[in-house]
A and B are shown apart, each in its own frame.
Chain A
Amino acid sequence: MSMMATILEVRGLTVELPTTSGWIRPVNDVSFTLNEGETLGIVGESGSGKTMLSLALMGLEPHGARHSGEAWLASKSGKQNILASSADELRAIRGRDIAMIFQEPMTALNPVLRVGEQVAEAIRVHEPAAGEKEIQHRVLQSLERAALPDPQRRARQYPHQLSGGLRQRVMIAMALAAGPRILIADEPTTALDVTVQKQILELLAKLRRELQLSLLFITHDLGVVAQVADRVAVMYAGRVVEHGPVMEVLRAPSHPYTAGLLRAAPRLVREKLIPIPGSVPSLTALPPGCSFAPRCAVHIPDCDSAMPQLRAVNTNHKARCILVP
């Protein structure tokens, strides 16, 4: 494989939120790189921090949050640390360099605005000089690119007149309207039926190829991540516990949590599922040492003494477990 250019480099990203029992860390010392044209899957269950991670990269953390670390974006105008950017700089980045799509398009779409107008708005924000005719042309082009059937007619409709799958296509059109090079997709198919999910995943794969997009694909679904991602990072209790090439991680997991998730996931063939005992720890009461230790099938006393570092399984594959030699 040729050397791929890094488009996003995240180093030691920590996000903290205030609670009545002190600061908690939904994202804890997360580092990764995203290369041009590559899809990185972020896998985790609820409370793993995967959504907060993506919000931090968009400068959209909840009010009162604080963060540390760096997130270097290679944009058209050079390198820029997203986490040190001002509100104005972030507004310029959003949509133009990085865009995001969500699980429930209804929460991101304005219910009282025709969908064509919403796509137009996404273009106008970044190109205030563009003429109305040019914008309308670009709107149709964006809707067509998202394979929205009958785009002329659909552009005049309101979000509630569209099915969940079509709304997701509108959101994709909107996200890509200003030509970003990075798309963050947060569980974009979780609320959809499985046949519609397939269509949306195929669309994203096609757009990724055609536009040389880099995708940060956040999901809880190991089957989906196998289908879309080149590499995967598995998160647990705010930290990356394993990352590596997706097929290698799924076929030969090195972290007991990844292995546990794989044994617990139902497949089309009937087999005994082996659940992971217990549940995800509260961020206000993390165990000492490894966060997964209390649920771990191969737990040894040393696991409780300190949070393990990410250890190299090989050059591309790391796991945060002291059992990795």
Chain B
Amino acid sequence: MPSEILLEARNLRKSYPVAGGMLAGSGRQAMAVDGVSFAVERGETLGIVGESGCGKTTLARMLLRLIEPDSGEIYFRGENWLGASGPELRKLRRRMQMVFQDPVASLNPRMTISGIVTEPLAIHEPDTSTAARRTRCIEILEAVGLDRESLGRYPHEFSGGQRQRIGIARALILRPELVIADEPVSALDVSVGAQILELLVRLQQEFSLTLILISHSLPVVAQLASRVAVMQAGKFVEVGSAAQVLQSPQHPYTQALLAAVPEIPA
């Protein structure tokens, strides 16, 4: 079967004015993302790995159009994503969803789980009946491993891992094609993080998802990614299949990152 490009980024750039230090107010710009190009095939998981300040979160926010790039192009399902507006933008937007790092900060504490999870439905499918919304909500909660008793409860009544499940349910209720997960397990304990990683693996198959997984952790990326991009100072310094990048890294920075991972003895 020929592969289909679901998302393509061409030469994305984003800079910010330098805020602090001697260069403040000098008009100097710090390049957060510096000419990044890549394509994501339908059904694959692209892992983007890099240390703090490398630009990976800025990149994710540009892909979601939460911030606009200074220059570059993004094509989503073959359409010009940066040029989309109005109904066309809404149509594309529902097909791309995000899972955040901090499940506490990303869930409205005053909304019930049912309200949080069905909010995207209320926005994108306002004609859906209350009963149908409830059914979809129960279905998706069960898919992420939460029972229907959760519906009327509030985020604070759940553990960190359960809150991340709620965030994933909210991201999936519109049946998106692409999910961008930014550090989805870094706020969680190891035993619970493994639950979420295994859940993502399972949901990817069940929902035929394409995933972009952004993480500082090579071991986390290794569990999910079919391809890995290593980002340093705003640039992709190495891109390849997960096996290539993790087992025979070519770039010195990738080699340094791998060598720094404290390994658990086998």
Please report A residues at the B interface, Cβ cutoff 8 Å. Answer: 45-46, 193-195, 197-198, 201, 220-224, 226-227, 247, 250-251, 260-277, 279-280
Contact = CB atoms under 8 A, between A and B. Distances in A.
Nearest to B256: A195
B193 interface: yes
B190 A265 contact: yes
Given A223-B264, A261-B191, A194 B257 contact: yes
B244 interface: no
A262 B266 CA distance: 10
A272 B197 CA distance: 10
Given A226-B262, A226-B263, A273-B198, A280 B189 contact: yes
14 contacts: A194-B51, A195-B257, A197-B262, A198-B262, A223-B263, A250-B265, A262-B264, A264-B190, A266-B194, A267-B219, A268-B246, A274-B194, A275-B194, A275-B198
A36 to B, nearest CB: 25
B218 A268 contact: yes
Given A247-B265, A275-B191, A266 B217 contact: yes
A275 B265 contact: no
Nearest to A262: B264
A-B pairs, top 7 by smallest CB distance, nearest first, are: A223-B262, A264-B194, A275-B194, A276-B191, A193-B51, A275-B195, A266-B219
B222 A193 contact: no
A194 B217 CA distance: 8
Contacts of B192: 275-276, 279
A273 B197 contact: yes
A276 B194 contact: yes
A198 to B, nearest CB: 4
Contacts, number: 105
Contacts of A260: 191
Contacts of A272: 198
Nearest to B195: A275
Contact of A266 (B52, B162, B220): B220
Nearest to A197: B260
A258 to B, nearest CB: 11
B190 A220 contact: yes
A45 B190 contact: yes
Contacts of A197: 260, 262
B222 A201 contact: no
Contact of B242 (A265, A266, A270, A279): A270
Contacts of A273: 194, 197-198, 223
A193 B52 contact: yes
A45 B191 contact: yes
A51 to B, nearest CB: 14
Nearest to A46: B189
A261 B222 contact: no
Interface string B187-220: 0011111110110000000000000000011111
A226 B265 contact: yes
A16 B162 CA distance: 28
Interface string B222-266: 110000000000000000001000100000000011111111111
B197 A195 contact: no
B18 to A, nearest CB: 15
B130 interface: no
A263 B266 CA distance: 11
Contacts of B161: 279
Nearest to A228: B262
Given A193-B216, A268-B261, 10 more contacts: A45-B190, A46-B189, A194-B51, A194-B257, A195-B257, A224-B262, A226-B265, A263-B194, A276-B192, A276-B194
Given A45-B189, A220-B190, A266-B219, A198 B260 contact: yes
B11 interface: no
Contacts of B195: 275-277
A197 B52 CA distance: 13
A273 B195 CA distance: 8
Nearest to B221: A266
* Most B CB within 10 A of own CB, among A45, A220, A263: A45
B179 to A, nearest CB: 19
B128 interface: no
Contacts of A266: 193-194, 197, 217, 219-220, 222-223
A226 B223 contact: no
A322 to B, nearest CB: 21
A183 to B, nearest CB: 19
B159 interface: yes
Nearest to A199: B260
Interface string B52-64: 1000000000000
Nearest to B21: A161
B133 to A, nearest CB: 29
A247 B218 CA distance: 23
A266 B220 CA distance: 6
Contacts of B242: 270
Contacts of A268: 218-219, 222, 246, 258, 261, 263
A274 B223 CA distance: 12
A220 B189 contact: yes
Contacts of A261: 190-191
* Most B CB within 10 A of own CB, among A263, A271, A275: A275
